[in-house]
Amino acid sequence: MSRLFDVVVLGAGPAGAAAAMALAGKGFNTAVVSKGSATEGHGPSAALAGPVQGLSSRALVALTEAGLAPAARCASGPAARVVFWSGERSERGLEGLVEREVFDASLRSCLQGSSVSRVDAVARGITFAEELWQVETSEGPIQGRTVLDARGRHARRSDERGPLLVSWSLNLKSDECRTARTAVVALDDGWCWLAITPGGTLHAQFVTSARQQWSREQLARRIQDVAEKLPEAALPVDQLVARGSESACAAVARYSQPSRGPGHLRIGDAAVAMDPLSGNGIYEAVRSARVAAAAVNSYLQGLPWSVVARFVDGRSRELWRRCASKAAEFYRLQAGWSGSEFWTSTAAAYAVIRHEV
């Protein structure tokens, strides 16, 4: 027999965790289907480092307000940032740094300590019948009066947009404690973000066109180019290049229709995934969860779905246009300076798609 909830949330990243906390806090019987991660429970001592991400101060405030303060506390203190963009070197922006696997494990333990039911399973499919959403999971079916799809970039989507970009990463956990710092550098065929956490994790991320295949040697060369452009930052790239573990993920900006029907909403990256250059993904994910929680609350209190969907749809389009316009501007500025194919074609792609939604 499948279990019935007011709200079933798919995914326990920042969007899913924030939405579940908000709706459970309003008294709705809420479940989160979360597939966890291979390193859960190992925390910072896991031998292999995963990716590092940056959190702005407003992202930290948003997480805390969403009842996810322990996850916000995973962030380092403000990390100094050196930027090399449009041929100019500057120092701007301060962000906290999180090891993403530690941060995600903390989001899941926030749910553990709340009234949210955690279902450790993989969500496989969603169907709608007789006013209820049926979610097939690896641990059996569950039903919801409403479903929030917060599976991030893994969510099945109705449409895809955006220039085809890929992010290649090298990560290394060293025993040395260091001062937290980051560097952002524009190269001719992409851009690179380097982060060093106080715990000694080194992370380099090179975002470039997905049309080209890169060997590890070529990737290493790009990361060494960064260190050469910023010699004064004394970035410890040699260790990273020699011993870092390599991974890659899509960095394509994407827009999906926010709803599939009454009571169904996509939130966070499942709805609008932006270019990682914005550095705002986690903040926008938590913000979209807040909007969705208000929408689901109104629907479960009796407001017609057509009204709720129109409201969420408007917010979603507005967010997409804002993000795509910002990305177009970022890439256009650098294209004006570099003139290379990567920058001009990415800027042109964003300039077109911002008007398509």
Ligand X SMILES: Cc1cc2nc3c(=O)[nH]c(=O)nc-3n(C[C@H](O)[C@H](O)[C@H](O)COP(=O)(O)OP(=O)(O)OC[C@H]3O[C@@H](n4cnc5c(N)ncnc54)[C@H](O)[C@@H]3O)c2cc1C
DSSP strands (E only) in 11-111: 30-34, 52-55, 79-85, 88-99
- By CB under 6 A, name the one of 24, 46, 135, 251 that touches ligand X: 251
Euclidean distance between CA atoms 185 and 191, whole angstroms: 6
CB of 272 to ligand X, least distance (A): 9
Select from 285, 295, 328, 347 the one that contacts ligand X (CB under 6 A): 285
Query: Quick check: 72 binds ligand X (CB under 6 A)?
Result: no
Judged by CB, which is closer to ligand X: 110, or 251?
251
Beta bridge partners of 160: none
Considering only the stretches 172-180, 275-283, 295-303, 324-332, report the one whose residues sit in contact with ligand X under the rule CB under 6 A: 275-283
- Report d(CA 47, CA 38) in Å as an integer: 12
Q: Which is nearer to ligand X, 66 or 282 (CB)?
A: 282
Angle at 237 between CA 236 and CA 243, to 5 degrees: 110
Does 10 interact with ligand X (rule: CB under 6 A)? yes
Nearer to ligand X, 281 or 306 (CB): 281
Q: State the Cα angle at 219 between 215 and 221, rounded to 5°.
A: 115
Of 6 and 101, the one with the shorter C-beta distance to ligand X is: 101
Q: Measured between alpha carbons, how far is 245 from 49 in angstroms, rounded to an integer?
A: 8
d(CA 83, CA 65): 30
Question: Looking up tokens 């779905």, which residue turns up?
Answer: 305
Q: How far is the CB of 306 from ligand X (least distance, A)?
A: 25
Nearer to ligand X by Cβ, of 235 and 277: the residue is 277
Question: Would you say 74 or 307 has its CB closer to ligand X?
Answer: 74
Cα–Cα distances in angstroms (integers) from residue 154 to residues 4, 35, 292, 305, 353, in the given order: 25, 12, 19, 26, 21
- Ranges within 305-324 binding ligand X (CB under 6 A): none
Terminal alpha carbon distance of the chain: 41
Do residues 235 and 79 lie in contact, with contact meaning Cβ atoms separated by under 8 Å?
A: no
CB 252 within 8 A of CB 167: no
Contact between residue 41 and residue 89 where contact means Cβ atoms under 8 Å apart:
no
The piece of 81-89, 181-189, 216-224, 274-282 that touches ligand X (CB under 6 A) is 274-282
Binding characters for ligand X, 83-122, by CB under 6 A (x = yes)? ---------------------x-----------------x
Residues 184-213 vs ligand X: string with x where CB under 6 A?
---------------------x--------
Interhelix angle 100-112/14-25, nearest 10 degrees: 20
Q: Which of residues 13-42 bind ligand X (CB under 6 A)?
A: 13-16, 33-35
Say how many residues touch ligand X, by CB under 6 A: 35
The DSSP call for residue 231 is G
Among 150, 194, 235, 265, binds ligand X (CB under 6 A): 150
In angstroms, give the least distance from the CB of 19 to ligand X: 9
- Smallest gap, in angstroms, from Cβ of residue 113 to ligand X? 18
Closest approach of Cβ 101 to ligand X, in Å? 10
* CB closer to ligand X out of 250 and 357: 250
The two tokens of residue 329 are 């501007």
Extract the tokens encoding 39: 């390193």
SS3 track for 266-280: ECHHHCEECCHHHCC
* Given 96, 190, 258, 279, the residue binding ligand X (CB under 6 A): 279
Please give the residue ranges that form the binding site for ligand X (CB under 6 A).
Answer: 10-16, 33-35, 53-54, 59, 104, 122-123, 150-154, 167, 205, 249, 251, 268-270, 276, 279-283, 285
